[in-house]
């Protein structure tokens, strides 16, 4: 079962808009050293929509190579094109990823039967554990618990990254899909309530710049230390809020630049965040003790 704190990794870029391979590999090693329980390259935070296919595959391969089996790698392989998602998922399997994270098809607005058919096609074409990424705020469609339960009957559909912000959803999902179905939060601010509802961890934006603290939240929960859970979460909440003061990953890339991890550069149509947003991000990092 995938569990704990897993950053949805940013993709660093150079000043000429190329992938900064050295910065990315260094970032992966820092994440592992700081206690992250897994790594998720090429998700929304990794700007997968603006990566070419070859870049996407290269980032997945670099992450797997740098991780060197120390923690699981869950490769983002989703697309609104089923055939494209199949290709990326097959590549993740061949590259040695431990699982694939597949987003619900955005823009197309498929029906529930369409969602089922999309994920079944990917499942049947690639022999790798698959996590459904349900994020209605970005993809417009919302996979119902009933559809997810149908998919959970397929042997390689093993869990969900739930970014619905519906705190009743995890409990309903656990009942419908069974105790072996992995439920991960896709929303940092509600990661702790999701654990209380039957979740197993968080695929996190904030873990990019606070990996130790995010891992501490999950470890304290596992240990049953609720006082520490709430103390860590209270410390992190202003950071969670600041990292979504504008469209992600703009704020988190700026935060990473303040920590000296990489450039704040993102690819269009994501632009540099406003000065007022920069002030909010910096203040949140200082308040949490992440920046001196």
DSSP 247: S
Q: Which conformational region is residue 255 in: left (phi greater than 0), alpha (psi within -120 to 50 degrees), or beta?
A: alpha
Buried b / exposed e over 178-200, threshold 16 CB at 10 Å, is: eeebbbbbbbbbbbbebbebbbb
14 by DSSP, 3-state: which?
coil
Q: Is the dihedral of CA 19, 268, 160, 91 positive or negative?
A: negative
Q: Which of 107, 109, 120, 161 is catalytic?
A: 161
DSSP 8-state symbol, 41: -
Catalytic residue among 133, 253, 254, 278: 133
Residues paired with residue 132 on neighbouring β-strands, in sequence order: 102, 160
The strand order across the sheet containing 201-204 reads: 4-7, 201-204, 182-185, 157-162, 130-134, 99-103, 74-76
Whether the CB-CB separation of 239 and 251 falls below 8 Å is answered with no
DSSP codes of every residue in 252-271: HHHHHHHTTSS-----TTS-
- Let me know: does 104 contact 135? Beta carbons within 8 Å: yes
- The verdict on whether 161 is a catalytic residue reads yes
Distances (CA, A) of 144 to 52, 148, 151, 160, 199: 31, 6, 11, 12, 17
Question: What DSSP designation does 106 have?
Answer: T
106 is catalytic: no
- What is the helix, strand, coil percentage profile of the chain, to 5? 50, 15, 40
Residues 169 and 171: their CA atoms lie apart, in Å, by: 6
Active site members: 133, 161
């Amino acid at each position: 079962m995938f569990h704990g704190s897993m950053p949805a990794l940013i993709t660093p870029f150079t000043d000429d808009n190329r992938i900064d391979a050295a910065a990315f590999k260094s970032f992966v090693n820092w994440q592992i050293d700081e206690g992250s329980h897994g790594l998720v390259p090429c998700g929304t935070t990794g700007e997968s929509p603006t990566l070419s296919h070859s870049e996407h595959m290269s980032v997945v391969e670099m992450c797997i190579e740098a991780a060197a089996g120390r923690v699981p790698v869950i490769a983002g392989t989703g697309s609104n094109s089923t055939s494209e998602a199949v290709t990326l998922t097959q590549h993740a399997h061949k590259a040695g990823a431990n699982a694939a994270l597949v987003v619900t098809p955005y823009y197309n607005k498929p029906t529930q039967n369409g969602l089922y058919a999309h994920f079944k096609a990917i499942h049947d074409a690639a022999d790798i554990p698959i996590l459904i990424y349900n994020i209605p705020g970005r993809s417009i469609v919302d996979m119902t618990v009933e559809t997810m339960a149908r998919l959970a009957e397929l042997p390689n559909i093993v869990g969900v990254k739930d970014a619905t912000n519906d705190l009743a959803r995890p409990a309903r999902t656990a009942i419908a899909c069974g105790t072996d179905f992995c439920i991960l939060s896709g929303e940092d601010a509600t990661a702790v309530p999701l654990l209380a509802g039957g979740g197993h961890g968080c695929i996190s934006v904030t873990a990019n710049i606070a990996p130790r603290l995010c891992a501490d939240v999950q470890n304290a929960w596992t240990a049953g230390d609720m006082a520490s859970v709430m103390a860590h979460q209270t410390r992190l909440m202003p950071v969670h809020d600041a990292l979504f003061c504008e469209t992600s990953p703009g704020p988190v890339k700026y935060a990473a630049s303040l920590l000296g991890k990489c450039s704040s550069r993102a690819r269009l149509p994501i632009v540099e965040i406003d000065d007022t947003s920069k002030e909010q991000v910096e203040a949140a990092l200082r308040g949490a003790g992440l920046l001196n």
